[in-house]
Amino acid sequence: MTTTPDFETLQIHAGARPDPATGARQVPVYQTTSYVFRDADHAAALFNLQEVGYIYSRLTNPTVAALQERMAALEGGAGAVCCSSGHGAQIMALFPLMGPGLNLVSSSRLYGGTVTQFSQTIKRFGWSAKFVDTDDLDAVEAAIDENTRALFCESIANPGGYITDLDALAAIADRHGIPLIVDNTTATPYLCRPIEHGATLVVHSLTKYLTGNGTVTGGCIIDSGKFDWSNGKFPAMSEPEPAYHGLKFHETFGPLAFTFNSIAIGLRDLGMTLNPQAAHYTLLGIETLSLRMEKHCANAVKVAEWLEKDPRVGSVTYAGLPSSPYHDRMARICPKGASSLFTFSLKAGYDACVKLIDNVNLLSHVANLGDTRSLIIHSASTTHRQLSEDQQIAAGVAPDVVRLSIGLENADDIIADLDQALDKAGA
């Protein structure tokens, strides 16, 4: 009898066979930069991409490869490529699609660093981004022009409380022959599987819930393997590649075209490689992903419900609360839960937010999220500081708003810490 293993089985076993050399059950950390070729023909075949194997760890490494296979399995993709950070993954995802004069259309509800990357830094490559409210499907459609090469959004948008209608965006992207790229960092594949909703590429910051305990930075791109890269818009994927003797990636590798291109061109020449030690920590983290995400979500619901009833609090934006306008969409996009990232506002305003942050004891004031530890930050004065006030409000982090990433501690202890800090803040 063969059945497709469940998520809980895949998170432990996908990509991890006993080590062929030693039988080691856990995935070994292959701390090596290079691999001995069998002979000159073997080396030539590897360099020509005629045979798959290991050459040099900037491109591929067995520990990283195990993580790539596990991520592809968990997201239901054809292949995956890991890289050194979530921001690296975004550039790596766009790199084969874009070129000078081309643009992407992006949701305006994004991680603050992504707003900066898309509105400022990518201009140096001659690329540009148009930001739209992805709840306004007519605006999304209108923003796409003949130079658009991708539609980008986050499934559960940082700083939380917002869930994207992935199916609707995928339908628009399909109509225009462009890929939908979904940043699934906040949801993780346990809560949301964007490819099932029509996404072409899924990008992750492994730094967050996937590794899960604030130890490493890493990124990953998963390809659905379903996109027609030969529709005339993506020459880097469909036309002869001069650096590989005229190889055509889409024609040669079919559903693995993006994965091979990302390794053979992206990692080779951009060099944003994930190191095997970081891959090891992430593999360990993913083994318990389902258990952690269930507890993250359950704790977040308890804390959000308590905050919502508190008279010092103005509003709580958490899609896991029945009061959220996105609660219905959650049932369709991420029915197991809305993750543990959300915001709340204080009636007493900006100064009280700053005092609250200074008075927490159990919660940590850090710029990370998706840690076992509960984290708090005042986005307007930190992560979203580079944004104008209008951009801050569009991103859901107005000056009176505090962001929480609820960890795995006992929920009552988290609530008690917030309660005493709210008192001291004079909220």
Ligand X SMILES: *Cc1c(COP(=O)(O)O)cnc(C)c1O
Q: Which residues bind ligand X (CB under 6 A)?
A: 85-87, 111, 113-114, 154, 158, 183, 185-186, 205, 207-208, 217, 219, 369
**Shortest Cβ distance from residue 216 to ligand X (Å)?**
9
**Residue with smaller CB distance to ligand X, 106 or 114:** 114
SS3 content of the chain, % helix, strand, coil (to 5): 40, 15, 45
Place of tokens 């609660």: 327
**Shortest Cβ distance from residue 414 to ligand X (Å)?**
20
- Among residues 358, 360, 346, 347, the alpha carbon closest in space to that of 406 is found at 360
**Residue with smaller CB distance to ligand X, 113 or 161:** 113
Rounded to whole angstroms, the Cα distance separating 279 from 59 reads 14
Place of tokens 């590798």: 253
Is the Cβ–Cβ distance between 293 and 405 less than 8 Å? no
- Assess whether the previous peptide bond of 255 is cis (omega < 30° from 0): no
**Residue with smaller CB distance to ligand X, 57 or 116:** 116
Rounded to whole angstroms, the Cα distance separating 52 from 355 reads 56
**Shortest Cβ distance from residue 316 to ligand X (Å)?**
20
**Shortest Cβ distance from residue 157 to ligand X (Å)?**
8
**Residue with smaller CB distance to ligand X, 61 or 107:** 107
Does residue 152 sit in helix, strand or coil?
strand
**Residue with smaller CB distance to ligand X, 63 or 205:** 205
**Shortest Cβ distance from residue 415 to ligand X (Å)?**
24
**Shortest Cβ distance from residue 186 to ligand X (Å)?**
6
**Residue with smaller CB distance to ligand X, 238 or 340:** 340
Strands 375-377 and 401-405: antiparallel
Strands 148-154 and 180-183: parallel
**Shortest Cβ distance from residue 102 to ligand X (Å)?**
21
> What does the radius of gyration of the chain's CA atoms come to, in whole angstroms?
22
Return the residue nearest ligand X (CB atom): 86
Task: Return all residues near 237 (Cβ < 8 A) that are at least 6 apart.
Answer: 96, 97, 229, 230, 249, 250, 257, 258, 261
**Shortest Cβ distance from residue 205 to ligand X (Å)?**
3
**Phi, psi at 156, each rounded to 5°:** -105, 115
**Residue with smaller CB distance to ligand X, 230 or 372:** 372
Angle at the Cα of 325 from the Cα atoms of 414 and 184, rounded to 5 degrees: 70
**Residue with smaller CB distance to ligand X, 185 or 200:** 185
